[in-house]
């Protein structure tokens, strides 16, 4: 297992972690899959296009506006971040092909920050 340590700089931010994941995946031969897990209740992990940075900006803008303005019961003030984390999810299982994540041509893996800026962790485990 390896722990990626990240530092977000905005309240809502997608951080491309694809290169770090490719580097980690190459360390062990014979692994069939990679588990990516985010141990935070106000963050997540997702796969989407990484060829055009405008997609990343569109997703960040969508996440910023996705939830209605309402009165939340949770008093800490970050209920929208908890909801977005639940919707996006905190883990991914990615198959490996010849030691590399079997991603589509345009796909990348992103850490999704919903309550930043913060220091965060992402756990990587080869299976």
pTM of the model: 0.94
Q: Starting at the earlier edge strand, list the strands of the sheet with 33-37.
A: 2-7, 119-126, 33-37, 91-97, 100-101
Measured distance CA(101)–CA(108) in Å, rounded: 10
Q: What is the CATH number of the domain that holds 8?
A: 2.60.120.460
* C-alpha pair distances (Å), 56 with each of 28, 47, 72, 85, 115: 30, 11, 27, 17, 17
Angle at 36 between CA 33 and CA 42, to 5 degrees: 160
| Euclidean distance between CA atoms 93 and 45, whole angstroms | 11
pLDDT at 67: 85
Q: What is the pLDDT along the chain (127 residues), one digit of tens a residue?
A: 999 999 999 999 999 999 999 999 998 889 999 999 999 999 999 999 999 999 999 999 999 999 878 888 887 888 999 999 999 999 999 999 999 999 999 999 999 999 999 999 999 999 9
| Count of structural domains, the chain | 1
Q: What is the C-alpha separation between 13 and 30, in angstroms, rounded? A: 34
Nearest Cα to 99, choosing from 13, 21, 47, 38? Answer: 21
Domain that holds residue 122: 2-126
Distance in angstroms (rounded) separating the CA atoms of residues 72 and 80: 9
What stretches of 19-58 adopt beta strand conformation (E)? 33-37, 43-49
């Amino acid at each position: 297992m390896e722990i990626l340590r990240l530092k977000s700089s905005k309240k809502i931010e997608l951080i491309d972690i694809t290169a770090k994941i490719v580097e980690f995946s190459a360390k062990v031969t014979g692994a069939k899959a990679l588990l990516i897990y985010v141990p935070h209740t106000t963050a997540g992990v997702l796969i989407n296009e990484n060829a055009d940075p405008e997609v990343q900006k569109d997703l960040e803008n969508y996440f910023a506006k996705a939830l209605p303005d309402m009165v939340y019961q949770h008093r800490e003030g970050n209920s929208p971040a908890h909801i977005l984390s639940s919707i996006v999810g905190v883990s991914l299982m990615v198959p490996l092909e010849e030691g590399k994540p079997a991603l589509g041509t345009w796909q990348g893996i992103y850490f999704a920050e919903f309550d930043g800026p913060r220091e965060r962790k992402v756990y990587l485990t080869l299976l």
